[in-house]
Structure 1
């Protein structure tokens, strides 16, 4: 094996270790968002679970295929490397689609959060307090939403809970949460997809080298 093939082999191997870690990162982000939005989903209507669940699924698939790519690189298996490349191309398209959907629809979701929270607050204030407890916020538009001097304990860190020591509004807090994690998931997906394109080129080069070596060994 020449120096070039040696470098390609081990660059591909370590790149797939990175992809495996990136897959774990997507799973972690998806789980973190899912745990946070579970209380919101129980109180208000909205497709908040689509992005985190998709991130967890894609992250799991990335991890499995990256492990497959590591084995293919070390063994220099033409079949494994070509199969790996095809799966990576499909994953690239899925990640880019996921990122585009997140970036395109994120503003629409965040703009509707204030109205959804207000409707949930007017419908059942007791259930709404679960959102306040989870996100450390108070009322859809702040403490003034309650129109009371004394606020529920979920609105403050200390007691007694008043307007002076109340948390910020739930609308701004929840919007910031979805904006931050939405951008994080989309950014990770784009970065991983770009690196996967490089990995596909390396994998096909190594597969071509393995195929040529196999032909030479038969003569």
Structure 2
């Protein structure tokens, strides 16, 4: 094996080791956020509130990155053309998916925010909004009240639940703002962060893809020359 190929091999191995560490840190960070958000209980059923979408996506992406990086490490250290090319293909697929998602987020920010708002509106319309219901759990989690404001309860002819207020609901200034606006704001900030982190990941993955292709090509040529 020539010096250049050996250098590419170890660079790819170190690169994927670092990416694996980043992926693990992403998983840990996602778990910590998920833990801070907590779960909600509705009619004896325990689950995550809507704002848990972002940390769950982060955990999923981190797991995929760790798997692909491990494949790259093994392919580099074993000088396996098959494993290295499989790593490059997986990396290219991940890169394309991330690029597509980022472009969609940039071009359809308004549609994304409307979709997030619809999540809250549907929850409000489908729920009785009574204490212990789905929307009550959302209000406790987001510290909000009603779909747009506490007036939504009056329009339904209902009394706001205790989760609507910071203290006594007898004091009007204690009422939280609407859940729709808070949820859109939270998810919009999360999507903005995801876009810029995704651009950084694409740059890193592109470097890994180039090194993987170079290593696989050099190893293939080296084995071909030794076969004669």
Q: Which residue of 2 aligns with 1:141?
A: 148
Contact 2:17 2:73 (C-alpha < 8 Å) held by counterparts: yes
Q: Distance in 2 between matches of 1:48 and 1:105?
A: 20
Q: Distance in 1 between matches of 2:58 and 2:114?
A: 22
Q: State yes or no: 1:155 paired with 2:164.
A: yes
Q: Which residue of 1 aligns with 2:112?
A: 109
Residue correspondences, number:
211
Contact 2:72 2:84 (C-alpha < 8 Å) held by counterparts: yes
Quote how far apart the aligned CAs of 1:179 are: 0.7
Q: Distance in 1 between matches of 2:30 and 2:186?
A: 12
Quote how far apart the aligned CAs of 1:29 are: 4.6
Q: Deviations over 1:22-43 (max 9, x none)?
A: 544279659957x96x87xx9x
Quote how far apart the aligned CAs of 1:10 are: 2.9
Contact 2:148 2:180 (C-alpha < 8 Å) held by counterparts: yes
Q: Which residue of 1 aligns with 2:209?
A: 200
Q: Distance in 2 between matches of 1:161 and 1:10?
A: 67
Q: State yes or no: 1:92 paired with 2:95.
A: yes
Contact 2:30 2:56 (C-alpha < 8 Å) held by counterparts: no
Indicate the structure with greater helix content: 1
Inter-CA distance 114–173: structure 2 relative to 1 (3 Å threshold): same
Inter-CA distance 21–138: structure 2 relative to 1 (3 Å threshold): farther
Q: Which residue of 2 aligns with 1:16?
A: 16
Q: State yes or no: 1:125 paired with 2:120.
A: no
Q: State yes or no: 1:70 paired with 2:73.
A: yes
Q: State yes or no: 1:175 paired with 2:184.
A: yes
Inter-CA distance 107–211: structure 2 relative to 1 (3 Å threshold): same
Quote how far apart the aligned CAs of 1:57 are: 4.8
Inter-CA distance 92–175: structure 2 relative to 1 (3 Å threshold): same
Q: Distance in 1 between matches of 2:122 and 2:224?
A: 69
Quote how far apart the aligned CAs of 1:104 are: 3.6
Which of 173, 178, 185 in structure 2 is aligned with 1:164?
173
